[in-house]
A and B are shown apart, each in its own frame.
Chain A
Amino acid sequence: MRNYLRALGAVIWKDLAAELRSRELLSAMLVFALLVLFIFNFALELNVKARLSVTSGVLWVTFVFAGTIGLNRSLAIEKDRGCLDGLLLAPVDRTAIYFGKAVANFLFIMVVAAIVLPVYSILYNTNLFAQPGLLLVIVLGAEGYVAVGTLLAAMAVQTRTRDMLLPILLFPVILPVLVAAVKASSGYLQGLPMVEIQPWINLLLVYDVVFTAISFMVFEFVVEE
Chain B
Amino acid sequence: MSDAPLIEVDHLIKRFGPKVVLRNLDFQAYGGEFVALLGPNGAGKTTFLRILSSLSGPTMGRVRIAGHELPRQAAAVRRRLGVVSHMPLLYGDLTAEENLRFYGRMYDVARIDEQITAILDLVGLAGRRRDLVRTFSRGMQQRLAIGRAVLHDPDVLLLDEPHTGLDQDACEMLDAVLRQVAARGRTVVMTSHDLSRVEDLATRFDVLTRGAIRASIGKVDMPRDGLLAFYRQSLEKARAEGEKGGR
- Give the interface of A toward B (CB within 8 A): 3, 6-7, 9-11, 13-14, 17-19, 21-22, 77, 81-83, 85-93, 224-225
Contacts and interface: CB of A to CB of B under 8 A. Distances in A.
A14 B102 contact: yes
B88 A82 contact: yes
B93 A83 contact: no
Contacts of B76: 91
Given A18-B91, A81-B92, 15 more contacts: A10-B102, A14-B102, A18-B94, A21-B94, A21-B132, A83-B90, A85-B85, A86-B90, A89-B83, A91-B75, A91-B79, A92-B106, A93-B75, A224-B57, A225-B57
A85 B79 CA distance: 14
Contacts, number: 75
B55 interface: yes
Contact of A85 (B55, B57, B91, B92): B55
**Size class of the B contact interface (CB-based, 8 Å):** 20 to 34
Interface of B: 50, 53-57, 75-76, 78-79, 81, 83, 85, 87-94, 98, 102-103, 105-108, 132, 148
A7 B106 contact: yes
Contacts of B55: 85, 88-89, 225
Contacts of B105: 6-7, 9-10
Chief secondary structure at chain A's binding surface: helix
Contact of B50 (A6, A7, A225): A225
A18 to B, nearest CB: 4
Contacts of A90: 78, 103, 106-107
B56 to A, nearest CB: 4
A89 B54 contact: yes
Contacts of A11: 106
B165 to A, nearest CB: 14
Contacts of B79: 91
Contact of B108 (A3, A21, A224): A3
A89 B92 contact: no
29 contacts: A3-B108, A6-B105, A7-B106, A10-B102, A13-B102, A18-B93, A18-B94, A19-B93, A21-B132, A22-B93, A81-B87, A81-B88, A81-B89, A81-B91, A82-B85, A82-B89, A85-B87, A86-B89, A86-B90, A86-B148, A88-B55, A89-B53, A89-B54, A89-B81, A91-B75, A91-B108, A92-B106, A224-B57, A225-B56
